[in-house]
Structure 1
Amino acid sequence: MAYDPAATRARLLTAAYDEFLRVGMAGARVARIAEAASVNKQAAYHHFGSKEALFDAVMADRLRILADAAPFTPDDLPGYAGALFDALVADPGVQRLNQWKMLETPEASAGEVEAHVSKAAAVAEHYGVEMALATDVMMIVLGMAMSWNTTEAKIRNPHDEDSDQRLLEHRTAVVTAVTAVTKALLGQH
Structure 2
Amino acid sequence: MVRDREATKAKLLEAALTEFATHGIAGARVDRIAAEAGCNKAMIYAYFGSKEGLFDEVLKIQLAQVIEAVPITPDDLPGYAGRLFDTYQRQPELLRLAGYHRLENGFEATNKAEADHHAEKIAAVAEAQREGLLTTDFEAEELLDLVVHLSILAFSTPVATRELVVKAVTRLLS
Residue 95 of structure 2 corresponds to residue 95 of structure 1:
yes
SS at match of 2:139: helix
Alpha-carbon RMSD: 2.1
CA–CA separation in structure 1 for the residues paired with 2:107 and 2:147: 20
Provide the residue aligned with 1:110 in structure 2: 111
Would the aligned equivalents of 1:81 and 1:178 in 2 still touch at CA under 8 Å?
yes
Would the aligned equivalents of 1:12 and 1:37 in 2 still touch at CA under 8 Å?
yes
CA–CA separation in structure 2 for the residues paired with 1:94 and 1:105: 16
Provide the residue aligned with 1:160 in structure 2: none
Equivalent pairs, count: 167
Letter in 1 for 2:123: A
Query: Please, which runs of 5 or more residues in structure 2 have no aligned partner?
Result: none
Would the aligned equivalents of 1:69 and 1:84 in 2 still touch at CA under 8 Å?
no
CA–CA separation in structure 1 for the residues paired with 2:46 and 2:121: 33
Residue 16 of structure 2 corresponds to residue 16 of structure 1:
yes
Provide the residue aligned with 1:120 in structure 2: 122
SS at match of 1:45: helix
Query: Please, which runs of 5 or more residues in structure 1 have no aligned partner?
Result: 157-166, 184-189
With structure 1 as the length reference, what TM-score do the two structures score? Answer: 0.79
CA–CA separation in structure 1 for the residues paired with 2:172 and 2:20: 34
SS at match of 1:148: helix
Provide the residue aligned with 1:162 in structure 2: none
Q: Percent identity?
A: 42
With structure 2 as the length reference, what TM-score do the two structures score? Answer: 0.85
Equivalent in 154, 157, 162 of residue 152 of structure 1: 157
CA–CA separation in structure 1 for the residues paired with 2:50 and 2:60: 15
CA–CA separation in structure 2 for the residues paired with 1:181 and 1:107: 24
